[in-house]
Amino acid sequence: MISSGLINGLIMGGVLSLPVLGVAVVYGITGVPNFAIGLIGVFGGFTTWYFLSTGLITAILLGIAVCFPIGFFLQRVLLTPLGRKKSADATLFFLITCSFGFIVEGGIRSLFPRATINIALPRLGAIHIGNVSADGFKFVALFVAVGTLIAIRILEQHTQAGRSLQATSQNLKLATLMGINTDLVFSLAHGVGCSLAAVGAIFWGSLYTLDMGTGWHLGFVGFIIAVIGGIGNIWGGLISALLMGMVMSFAGYLLGGVWQSVILYGIVILVLIVSPRGIMGSERAL
């Protein structure tokens, strides 16, 4: 049972880490927590499901790609102008992003014929580790999460766009003085973050199911896990997601699924009491 809980926890953490990385990228660059990011990711998942008949790769790329302009629009048209106002505070950003989430939810209900879906991605057969066996596809989700983080780091260090993102996150005023279009950087970061959430939603929809509740769940839990790791810190977000995945897995095995949320949020409270900046420190930087 311990081995099974450990492996399933790592897999769940790997899936959860993708929206967490989306939250971390968005907050790390813009300083704005997007509470609609889970719904935007689910919109990408529904898009993938709808276009599966056109081919697997095409459907996945469409699902990821459609979320980028949504995130870009949200930042460029709504959040950036709001951020320029001295009266803007966290409450306004919370209200804007939550309201936008309800708009996305309405769009999903209007555009797609089913309220609950399962994305039929191909399975890879069982992988046996000791006495535990798990669908090989589940391990792909974990590898994709780790690979995505590594890819973000490589792009950040070896591309002009990545260096612009890093400079903007570290010192906004200096980046502006250097001639970097920070408004564009904010919008690009938000688009990338929403695309990451779409990848997480696609895997979630393949392993479990997707519906409107899943969107709010992924967004909120992603934000909570990001806070535990140190919101804005993508390494902290990944480590936190893997740890919380194992906690939720063992809680489900030992106490039943009803206790998973109780234990998760209890840990959130304890971590924030002991270390308000998260286990690896909150930062507005990748």
At 37-51, the pLDDT tens digits run 999 999 999 999 999
In the numeric block, which tokens belong to residue 233?
Answer: 């810190």
C-alpha closest to that of 209 among 10, 16, 20, 46: 46
Structure tokens given for 260:
């998973």
Cα 244 to Cα 36, 80, 158, distances in angstroms: 21, 32, 32
The pLDDT of residue 172: 67
Residue 283's identity, in one-letter code, is E
| pLDDT of 264 higher than 70 | yes
Structure tokens at 277: 């900046």
**Mean pLDDT value of segment 177-193:** 84
Residue 92 burial (10 A CB sphere; 0-12, 13-18, 19+): middle
**In this predicted structure, what is the pLDDT of residue 137?**
64
pLDDT at 107 over 90: yes
Q: Between these two residues, 132 and 240, which has the higher pLDDT value?
A: 240
Bridge partner residues of 133 (DSSP): 128
pLDDT tens column, 134-180? 666 667 777 777 787 778 777 777 777 777 776 776 666 777 777 77
Cα distance between residue 274 and residue 42, in whole Å: 34
Q: Which fold has domain 2-113+135-274?
A: ABC transporter involved in vitamin B12 uptake, BtuC (1.10.3470)
Angle at CA 252, nearest 5°, toward 122 and 119? 20
**Tokens standing for residue 227:** 């806070």
What confidence category does residue 56 fall into, taking pLDDT thresholds of 50, 70 and 90?
A: confident
- CA distance linking residue 151 with residue 145, whole number of Å: 10
CA end-to-end distance (rounded Å), the chain: 37
- Altogether, the residues listed in the chain come to a count of 286
- How is residue 67 written in tokens? 């979320």
Tens digit of pLDDT for each residue in 204-221? 888 788 998 888 988 888
Closest C-alpha to 188, from 168, 172, 214, 218 = 168
What b/e readout covers 41-57, taking b as 16+ CB neighbours within 10 angstroms? bbbbbbbbbbbbeeeee
Instruction: Please give the average per-residue pLDDT across 244-248, as a whole number.
Output: 78
The residue behind tokens 């001639």 is 179
